[in-house]
Structure 1
Amino acid sequence: MPAYHSVFLDEPNQQVIGNFALLPLRTRTRGPAQQLPALPSDLTDLTIDASHESYDPLDEILSLFRANTFFRNFEIKGPADRVLIYGILFVSEVLTKVKPAMNRREAEKAVMNIALDTNFAIPGDAGFPLNQAFEAPPDRNAAETLRQYLRQMREELAVRLLNRVYSDGTNTPSKWWLSFTKRKFMGKAL
């Protein structure tokens, strides 16, 4: 059975740095990403459908995370798949910081420390785990834009992940999400 690929592969007018797509995001976090419209009042991050105009790559990452983490191999079909790969690896890293005994406030502190960290590797850096599948940015300006985009993506993804992990209202993390902390997508970690 093949892994699930991004629905944004055929997205027109993609901005690409190296071979990483800078896709539009629905976020309030500052950064270089093009803004998608906010969700209408009848939808939430948990109920949005892939055909909706406000569906973004972060929704896709969270919806495909649990299914794709079982795969050790992933055929990259385009720049949007690289966004999916990076997001899944980041979600895996974040989930390792959330412990079963943590309440939401403690988890927020731990997760936001990772998301707000500005010292993370980008494609082309020596510490980046997937340099064989990602191209380095062509110049310093492109590298800085990519770093800002990834930071914006990390911050928004952390917030949305916490909303899902603590969605039941009991102030304890979902065991169905935490059960994936030991799994490594493609055998890699950020």
Structure 2
Amino acid sequence: MVYHSAFNGVAPADIACGCGIFGPEHDITQEAIENFKANVLVKQFEMKGPGDTTMVYLTLFICKCLTELNMKKPADAKAAYNVLNVLAQQNFSAPGDAEFVLRGILSAPQDSTERDRWVNGFKKMRAEIATKLAPLVFDADGKLSKWWLMFAKYKFMGKSL
């Protein structure tokens, strides 16, 4: 079952490259984390609005986060946050770049201003994912949760960042 974004019908703060850049009153990062385990298993995802396009990118970023955590094996949530925060702040490709994985799904920016809005919006959302995901990937015993890390092997829509 695919979970579409509840924010498809909500006006985003901005739209850049077909993605909704939502303000803090619309917590799309939390929605992406909550729907991740179900959505990561799908091979096709029909976009029904700007919330879905945003959630698709965030789902791919969560996959990348889990892969990184699986490789680095941090000892605790604080160390996991440090790993994920570094990942969130790294330079990343954007719509219009030749290596951007969602070419054909997201529109290329009309100009450098739109590209900057997309990059800045997603840099903030990537940082929010790092903050929220770090404590979730540890079980009650303080060990990395196999129930989260097992999803590191999946490629959402056959793609990876």
Match of 1:159 among 127, 131, 141: 131
Q: Which blocks of at least 5 consecutive residues in structure 2 are unaligned?
A: none
Give the match's secondary structure for 2:148.
helix
How do residues 32-111 of structure 1 correspond to structure 2 at under 5 angstroms?
36=25, 56-99=27-70, 101-104=73-76, 105-111=78-84
Contact 2:12 2:22 in 1 (8 A): no
Deviation at 1:167, TM superposition (A): 5.7
Distance 2:12 2:34 in 1: 24
Aligned twin of 1:142: 114
Q: Which has the higher helix share?
A: 2
Q: Percent identity?
A: 33
Deviation at 1:12, TM superposition (A): 2.9
Aligned twin of 1:182: 153
How many residue pairs were aligned?
159
Q: CA RMSD in A?
A: 1.7
Distance 1:163 1:11 in 2: 29
The CA deviation string for residues 75-100 of structure 1, in whole angstroms up to 9 with x for no partner, is 11111101100000000000001138
Contact 1:123 1:131 in 2 (8 A): yes
CA gap of 1:138–1:71, structure 2 versus 1, over 3 A, is same
Distance 1:110 1:162 in 2: 9
TM-score, normalization: structure 2? 0.91
Distance 1:13 1:174 in 2: 34
Contact 1:165 1:174 in 2 (8 A): yes
Distance 1:113 1:18 in 2: 25
Deviation at 1:13, TM superposition (A): 5.5
Q: Which blocks of at least 5 consecutive residues in structure 1 are unaligned?
A: 26-35, 37-54
Aligned twin of 1:4: 3
Give the match's secondary structure for 1:21.
strand
Give the match's secondary structure for 1:172.
coil
The CA deviation string for residues 5-32 of structure 1, in whole angstroms up to 9 with x for no partner, is 110010035521121111112xxxxxxx
Letter in 1 for 2:74: M
Contact 2:18 2:106 in 1 (8 A): yes
Q: Which runs of 4 or more aligned residues in structure 1 lie more than 6 Å from their structure 2 counterparts after TM superposition? A: none
Give the match's secondary structure for 1:16.
strand
TM-score, normalization: structure 1? 0.78
Whether 1:124 aligns to 2:96 is yes
Deviation at 1:59, TM superposition (A): 0.9
